[in-house]
Amino acid sequence: MSDQSVIIIGLPESGKTTFLAALWHLITDRDVETKLRFHTLKDGDATHLNEIAARWRDAKIQDRTAVGGSRLVSMNLKDAQNSPVRVTFPDVPGEAYRRMWEDRDCEPEIRDVLRAEGVLLFIHSDAIAPPRWVVDEVAQSRALGLEVPDGQQAPWHPRLAPTQVQLVDLLQLLRTPPLDVGPRKLAIMLSAWDKAEGEELAPFAYVEAKLPLLAQYLRGGADGWRFRIYGVSAQGGDYDPVDLAAARRPEAEALRRLDRPSTRIRLVSAGPESHDLTEPLAWLME
């Protein structure tokens, strides 16, 4: 069996675990056509995958992957030629990638999995922190009647950096020893795409408009990334709040009533829209 590893990376709450949950449901339920299909169960425990897939079907928000709670998730799949392939996904908390940016540090176990040849980079399309200019902040404060003393220093933390700066740095780190394994394929997954559709932009145009530094970095090709950009709505809409005492959302109830839960998944790219989350994986493994 061919064994290929794909690393799922992204800042905290970018949609990584929701993607894994929807993917596991998709290939085990088999209610829509996919490029990669379920083959056999991997030796070991699929409890984690079953648990997150159950929450996904119930339209419940996923528990955040705990810091230090990395899991190695493997799926045995078949490609279009019926050749078996094992895909391994390290389910790593987003805080591990944030720490690489903020502290310039990487745990040894994270370092080892980051050498995968295929990379899925998740970006929450509705939670992009844009650049903030000091002159604009001062003008806005004064327009609101807030006092801005001349010469006052504002504290800064790396977490305040724009999203695109953190993401470009993360990709550059993957092309720096000891993480560098040469040119790789990169599938950028713009999660919560249903929240971004009001912009009426295709996924690549969305990155150019909202993350111009990232777009320029990829187009320049200095680090040799071969990339594709996808818009993905793996949830299908707003889920019930974590607070069990809060009222259930009508949109979540509608998702639970679907006869084929896989149809809530939407994948948008340069080609036809589909429900197939294995499409980026198949491309990464070509």
Interior/surface letters 263-283, b for 16+ CB within 10 angstroms, e for the rest:
ebbbbbbeeeebbbbbbbbbb
H helix or E strand, kind and range, residue 4: strand 2-10
Report the C-alpha gap between 121 and 205 in whole angstroms. 17
CB 247 within 8 A of CB 285: no
**CATH number of the domain encompassing residue 175:** 3.40.50.300
Q: Which residues pair with 40 in a beta bridge?
A: 76
pLDDT digits (tens, 9 = 90+) for 248-268: 777 777 777 777 888 889 999
Which one-letter DSSP state was computed for residue 215? H
Q: Which residues contact 79 (CB under 8 A, 6 or more apart)?
A: 35, 36, 85, 282, 285
Crossing angle of helices 47-57/16-29, nearest 10°? 90
Q: Residue 107 sits in which domain range? A: 2-284
- Which conformational region is residue 13 in: left (phi greater than 0), alpha (psi within -120 to 50 degrees), or beta? left
β-bridge pairing 185-191 and 226-233: parallel
Number of domains in the chain: 1
User: Coil, strand or helix: which one is 88?
Assistant: strand
Kindly give the parts of the chain with pLDDT less than 70: 1-2, 41-45, 64-70, 240-247
Phi and psi angles of residue 121, each rounded to the nearest 5 degrees, phi first: -105, 115
Q: What is the CA radius of gyration of the chain?
A: 20
Give me the pLDDT at residue 68, please: 47
User: Taking the model in full, what pTM does it have?
Assistant: 0.86
β-bridge pairing 71-78 and 84-91: antiparallel
